[in-house]
Amino acid sequence: MALATNDLNAFRMSLGQGIVMMFDAIFLTVITLSIMLSINVKLTLISLIPLPLVSIVATNFGKLIHKRFLKVQEVFAKLTDVVQENFSGIRVIKTFAQEANEYVKFNEQNREYLKANMNLVKVWGILFPLTELLAYLSFVILIAVGASYVVLNIISIGDFIAFNMYLGSLVWPMMAIGWVINVVQRGYASLERIENVLNQSIEIYDKNVDNVTSLDGDIIINNLNFQYESSKSPALKNINLHIRKGESLGIIGKTGSGKSTLVNLLIRLYNVQDGTIFINGHDINKIPISILRKKIGFVPQESFLFSKSVAENIALPLYETDDDKVIKYAKIAEVHEDIIGFNDGYKTIVGERGITLSGGQKQRISIARALIKEPEILIFDDCLSAVDAKTENRILKNLKEVMKGKTSIVISHRISAIKDCDNIIVLDEGRIVESGNHNQLIENDGLYKKIYLKQQIEEKLEEAE
Ligand SMILES: Nc1ncnc2c1ncn2[C@@H]1O[C@H](COP(=O)(O)OP(=O)(O)OP(=O)(O)O)[C@@H](O)[C@H]1O
């Protein structure tokens, strides 16, 4: 936020105002100096004695302004973070009665901002009068030396008066140096911050890709190991899998067992080693990222809706909102009835500027959004958690129709969501510890059966309530 507002503005000012002022000052200085030199070279040089001092001041103060303005912008960025988090987390703050604490934190950050600004203003406050003082020092020198030159008849009184006038014209450019240093150094500091972001290296990009235009959904995973850079232990260990075109795979396992990591790798949110994941016979690293992501419909664990209408949210992957398609997929995702119940139906605005949806409604809208792409591969990352069991069953039934002949991967903590999948894997600490269909896994009498029995008891208890 700070980069897009304050920093951009500071850089704009340095390019606009700063450069105009600089050219103005340079132009005036060059013209005035050449006229002064044509009148008397010696007197010109004498009256410009303070000029080197101006350049010393300019260099030192420039560095200081640069450093202090960087600090101001950093603190401002933190301040905007605090404000933004306070607004987006306003309910959590209120529920935990943390208003007073947050007020104190905001105040502290605000004071930091004030302090950083005051530190900058102090430099600026000295710089401006100092350049002015040096400019007027030239006048003092001129009056002392110029007057003696007149008395000694070295220059005429007319030249002396003219010199005074020309030196007067030089005062502004010398003072302008202070302004220019301030504006340009601020802009330069901001540019540094903006470039810092723009120059971040892109980690996931197309490199020596094959000419792939379609993917049919046959996925092979070979000895896949994966570790996050910031993590001490691998998130996935020695994963081997074959998901055939048109098959459905269910993934279950404790939290943190690597389920999301596995599907995140399939849409290349992270890089994997060559030779570990193949889709349609192509190494995932050789598939253009745009094709890969176009062919995969992904419903993330946390649904994110934009501050747009419901229809626009569902039609996000399309170039143009197609009302028929929007309604068709909203029905499949079992959210159509909810939507027509809103005041403006599909035109209802959601998010910050509109209505607040329930967790289950958000999840179903993001399912419709993934389906509208009509992808070859569909991935559900635990996105039915906020939907009740009956609706979940209806959605899964509808999906079976839509996904006929297409590949799907369903991650869930609930057996009910994955029990009908052609193949199910159980992940534990990054390893596949069991695999097979529902019946085989029950016969196996392992972790899957344990989870199944536990969930059955929970269901019965819920029914009894
Ligand atoms: N971006 C990341 N950086 C570092 N470690 C991560 C990151 N994302 C996940 N992890 C770690 O990797 C491991 C596997 O996480 P993952 O999200 O794949 O688990 P999961 O099985 O999907 O869990 P859940 O059921 O809670 O969603 C965890 O130990 C987690 O802390």
DSSP character string of 30-51: HHHHHHHHHH-HHHHHHHTTTH
Complete edge-to-edge strand list for the sheet that includes strand 423-428: 296-299, 377-381, 407-411, 248-253, 423-428, 431-436
Which residues in 129-263 belong to E strands, given as ranges? 219-226, 236-243, 248-253
Characterize the bridge pairing of strands 431-436 and 277-279: unpaired
255 lines ligand 1 (CB under 6 A): yes
Residue 402 CA to ligand 1 centre (angstroms): 30
Report the atom number in ligand 1 closest to the C-alpha of 253. Answer: 21
Residue 258 CA to ligand 1 centre (angstroms): 6
Give the CA radius of gyration of the chain.
35
Residue 384 CA to ligand 1 centre (angstroms): 18
The H-or-E segment that residue 242 falls in is strand 236-243
pLDDT at 4: 86
pLDDT digit string, tens, across residues 269-310: 999 998 899 999 999 999 999 999 999 999 998 888 998 899
235 lines ligand 1 (CB under 6 A): yes
Residue of the CA atom closest to atom 19 of ligand 1? 256
Residue 228 CA to ligand 1 centre (angstroms): 9
| 269: CB partners within 8 A, 6+ apart | 204
Residue of the CA atom closest to atom 1 of ligand 1? 228
372/402 Cα distance (integer angstroms): 11
Number of H helices and E strands in the chain, helices first, is: 17, 10
Superfamily in which the 1-199 domain is placed by CATH:
ABC transporter type 1, transmembrane domain (1.20.1560.10)
258 lines ligand 1 (CB under 6 A): yes
104/447 Cα distance (integer angstroms): 49
Residue 86 CA to ligand 1 centre (angstroms): 26
Nearest to 223 by CA among 272, 264, 187: 272
Nearest to 389 by CA among 447, 441, 456, 444: 456
DSSP letters for 72-84: HHHHHHHHHHHHH
Residue of the CA atom closest to atom 20 of ligand 1? 256
pLDDT at 194: 92
What are the domain boundaries of the chain?
1-199, 219-463
386/364 Cα distance (integer angstroms): 9
pLDDT at 289: 93
Query: Do 1-199 and 219-463 have matching folds?
Result: no
Residue 40 CA to ligand 1 centre (angstroms): 79
Residue of the CA atom closest to atom 30 of ligand 1? 256
| CATH class assigned to 219-463 | alpha beta
Contact 401, 329 (CB under 8 A): no
pLDDT in tens, the chain (465 residues): 888 888 899 899 888 888 888 888 888 889 998 998 998 888 888 888 887 787 788 778 888 888 899 899 899 989 998 998 998 889 899 999 999 999 999 999 999 999 999 999 998 888 888 888 887 888 888 888 889 989 998 888 998 898 888 888 887 787 777 778 878 888 988 999 999 999 998 888 888 888 888 888 899 999 999 999 888 899 999 999 999 999 999 999 988 999 999 999 999 999 999 889 999 999 999 999 999 999 999 999 888 899 889 999 999 998 887 889 999 999 999 999 999 999 899 999 997 667 788 888 999 999 999 999 889 899 999 888 888 878 888 888 888 888 888 899 999 988 888 888 999 999 999 999 999 999 999 998 889 999 999 988 887 877 776
Contact 361, 334 (CB under 8 A): no
Report the atom number in ligand 1 closest to the C-alpha of 413. Answer: 25
256 lines ligand 1 (CB under 6 A): yes
Report residue 228 as tokens: 């996050």
Report residue 33 as tokens: 């100096």
97/92 Cα distance (integer angstroms): 8
